């Protein structure tokens, strides 16, 4: 269930009326690893396995190509509230040692990080990005928009989509949290063993440093955002060799890092 009907009062200068509105669902999910609590995330239900898969990949907890065992421990009103993943101890990455101790809310970029060193990311810089044009960018956004069913109903959900080098859609997911949506699409491609095909990450909102790091860890070299990019997102993108594009509209876009553009 991604949306729910609530009653509200619509007020204008000259009138008010009671009406029913469809709102995006935000619900907590406790993630256990080997039956031990790891973290709680606030998310929009559905695609929970993909969310967990992408999150543990980004946190350097589970990088294996083999899908882990995933089970629902508790639910409320048919919405999972506690899930457990079973991972052999020898497959747990270094990130597991840095257990999250805070609730991770849907709008938070670094919830659960305990020290400054926990936001440091290392890896081989992208040397060259595929060229992107306004025309191709708009085609990809139009395709992503056509699948944003929850946003069309509620106006309250974000979306993330991943495309391959031929601009073919590989995955699109929605969530109340921008970071969750990114985890879901990456997790979806991990489940299908198609992550190596990823070339473009499109996001419906702004880009923070954490979305850039998630893309870098997933080896996605180009990020295109509808809205703004933070200063740290630009700094990280420049360091990682990621082409970072923001303020994307039909006939314009702003490139902040590592441009490789076509004029048509």
Considering all CA atoms of the chain, what is the largest pairwise distance in Å, rounded to the nearest integer? 66
Instruction: Tell whether 139 is in a known binding site.
Output: no
Instruction: Tell whether 252 is in a known binding site.
Output: yes
Give the whole-angstrom CA distance, residue 252 versus residue 158.
21
Q: What value does the CA radius of gyration of the chain take, rounded to a whole number of Å?
A: 19
Instruction: Tell whether 22 is in a known binding site.
Output: no
Active site residue 108: yes
Phi, psi of 142, deg, nearest 5: -65, -40
**Residues annotated in the binding site, as ranges?**
247-252
User: Catalytic positions, please?
Assistant: 108
């Amino acid at each position: 269930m991604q949306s729910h009907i609530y009653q509200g009062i619509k007020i204008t200068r000259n009138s008010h009326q009671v009406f029913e509105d469809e709102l995006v669902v935000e619900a907590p999910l406790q993630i256990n690893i080997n039956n031990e609590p790891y973290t709680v995330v606030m998310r929009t239900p559905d695609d929970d396995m993909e969310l967990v898969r992408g999150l543990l990949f980004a946190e350097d907890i589970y990088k294996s190509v083999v899908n882990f065992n995933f089970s629902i421990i508790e639910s409320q009103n048919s919405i999972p509230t506690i899930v457990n993943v079973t991972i052999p101890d020898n497959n747990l990455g270094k990130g597991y040692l840095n257990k999250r101790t805070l609730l991770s809310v849907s709008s938070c970029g670094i919830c659960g990080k305990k020290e400054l060193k926990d936001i440091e990311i290392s890896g081989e810089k992208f040397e060259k990005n595929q060229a992107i044009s306004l025309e191709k960018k708009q085609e990809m956004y139009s395709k992503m928009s056509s699948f944003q069913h929850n946003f069309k109903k509620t106006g309250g959900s974000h979306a993330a989509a991943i495309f391959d080098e031929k601009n073919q859609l590989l995955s699109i997911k929605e969530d109340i949290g921008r970071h969750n949506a990114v985890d879901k699409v990456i997790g979806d491609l991990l489940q299908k063993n198609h992550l190596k095909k990823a070339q473009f990450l499109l996001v419906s909102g702004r880009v923070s440093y954490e979305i850039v790091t998630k893309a870098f860890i997933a080896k996605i070299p180009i990020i295109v955002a509808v809205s703004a990019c933070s200063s740290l997102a630009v700094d990280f993108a420049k360091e990682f060799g990621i082409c970072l594009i923001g303020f994307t509209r039909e006939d314009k876009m702003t490139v902040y890092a590592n441009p490789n553009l076509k004029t048509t």
